[in-house]
């Protein structure tokens, strides 16, 4: 199959690209390398993947790239992913996550691309889970608490609009908190990447508030298998890709300390405003309709992540 992966030089995208190549697909990566890295594509480029370096906000180059690749499936992962940056500059976030997505949909329509898989968010689209029946199903109301969550919801709505207007077949995977090899441990990355980086460099983890905030951590290999299953299915609309399991920050710290056999004493800092206190998402639809389930337990995933550093 011919595939195009936007954001393919990033953490999740490059893991997906490797899996597509391993099953014999032809792959074109579209990425502006803003947070993605050429390093992530080292083996993929050697195995025949093509990289087109462009910004998805630039409509014409994007249309040319999609037309030239003539993909059977587009995986749309390119995005502004930093929640705090989205709060500081909502219009910038929207320009990529909404404007860029609209550009991609137009390019896909013109090139008559039959199937789109969109990387949406399960962690930021539903809003606060505390006080609700967890894990949350796709039928739960969405109520994002950040411009990032809002722009992802807008992306989902554009996909469903294109389905109504033009019959473009698409599925929106609402990913939990993804972790694993190639996640950037610097800057505003996921907490597991940051903690693993600190563990390797002998640092101490900072825990904001009481450390009892929960998330639904999902290993990147499981996210990739969900993306492959979704691409090959007829399933439409939102699908949660998570474990349904709540894990708090203190549990992460002790799991990492246990795995490494070294002291990993947290430093406590004041709580961060605007953070969701509890969230976990129900993967029942993915199980029933994609025959997908998460296969990597947290301890195993943490071990694989640490080993990759």
Ligand X SMILES: NC(=O)c1ccc[n+]([C@@H]2O[C@H](COP(=O)([O-])OP(=O)(O)OC[C@H]3O[C@@H](n4cnc5c(N)ncnc54)[C@H](O)[C@@H]3O)[C@@H](O)[C@H]2O)c1
10 lines the binding site for ligand X (CB under 6 A): yes
Q: Which residue in 31, 138, 156, 216 binds ligand X (CB under 6 A)?
A: 31
Report the alpha-carbon distance of residue 162 to residue 156 in Å, rounded.
Answer: 10
In angstroms, what is the minimal distance from the CB of 248 to ligand X? Answer: 17
153 lines the binding site for ligand X (CB under 6 A): no
- Assign residue 229 a region: left if phi > 0, alpha if psi is -120 to 50, beta otherwise? alpha
In angstroms, what is the minimal distance from the CB of 121 to ligand X? Answer: 4
Report the alpha-carbon distance of residue 214 to residue 295 in Å, rounded.
Answer: 20
Q: Which residue in 12, 107, 191, 245 binds ligand X (CB under 6 A)?
A: 12
Report the alpha-carbon distance of residue 66 to residue 156 in Å, rounded.
Answer: 20
56 lines the binding site for ligand X (CB under 6 A): yes
Segment 269-273 long-range contacts (CB within 8 Å, at least 24 positions apart): 269/206, 269/207, 269/208, 270/208, 270/209, 271/208, 271/209, 271/210, 272/208, 272/209
Site for ligand X in 72-101 (CB under 6 A): 77-81, 96, 100
- Told to judge if 148 belongs to the known catalytic residues of this protein, a careful annotator would answer yes
Q: Which residue in 17, 27, 35, 41 binds ligand X (CB under 6 A)?
A: 35
Report the alpha-carbon distance of residue 10 to residue 196 in Å, rounded.
Answer: 18
Site string for ligand X, 103-132 (x = CB under 6 A): ----------------x-x-x---------
Nearer to ligand X, 67 or 258 (CB): 67
Q: What residues make contact with ligand X under the rule CB under 6 A?
A: 7, 9-13, 31-36, 55-57, 77-81, 96, 100, 119, 121, 123, 175, 177-178, 190
């Amino acid at each position: 199959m011919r595939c195009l992966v936007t954001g393919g030089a990033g953490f999740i995208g490059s893991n997906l690209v490797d899996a597509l190549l391993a099953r014999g697909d032809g792959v074109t990566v579209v990425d502006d390398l803003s947070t993605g890295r050429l390093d992530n594509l080292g083996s993929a480029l050697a195995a025949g993947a093509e990289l087109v370096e462009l910004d998805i906000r630039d409509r014409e180059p994007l249309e040319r790239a999609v037309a030239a690749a003539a993909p059977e499936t587009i995986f749309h992962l390119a995005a502004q992913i930093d929640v705090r940056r989205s709060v500081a500059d909502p219009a910038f976030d929207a320009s990529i996550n909404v404007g860029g997505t609209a550009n991609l949909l137009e390019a896909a329509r013109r090139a008559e691309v039959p199937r789109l898989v969109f990387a949406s968010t399960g962690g930021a689209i539903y809003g606060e889970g505390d006080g609700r029946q967890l894990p949350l199903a796709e039928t739960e109301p969405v109520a994002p608490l950040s411009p990032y969550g809002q722009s992802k919801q807008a992306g989902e709505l554009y996909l469903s609009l294109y389905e109504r207007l033009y019959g473009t077949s698409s599925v929106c995977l609402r990913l939990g908190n993804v972790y694993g090899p190639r996640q950037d441990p610097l800057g505003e990355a996921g907490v597991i990447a940051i903690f693993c980086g600190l563990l390797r460099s002998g640092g101490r983890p900072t825990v904001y508030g009481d450390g009892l905030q929960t998330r639904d951590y999902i290993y990147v290999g499981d996210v990739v298998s969900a993306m492959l299953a979704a691409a090959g299915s007829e399933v439409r609309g939102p699908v949660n890709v998570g474990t349904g399991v709540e894990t708090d920050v203190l549990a992460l710290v002790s799991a990492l300390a246990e795995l490494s056999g070294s002291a990993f004493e947290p430093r406590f800092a004041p709580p961060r405003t605007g953070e969701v206190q509890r969230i976990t998402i129900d993967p029942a639809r993915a199980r029933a309709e994609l025959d997908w389930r998460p296969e990597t337990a947290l301890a195993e995933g943490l071990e694989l992540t640490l080993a990759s550093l």
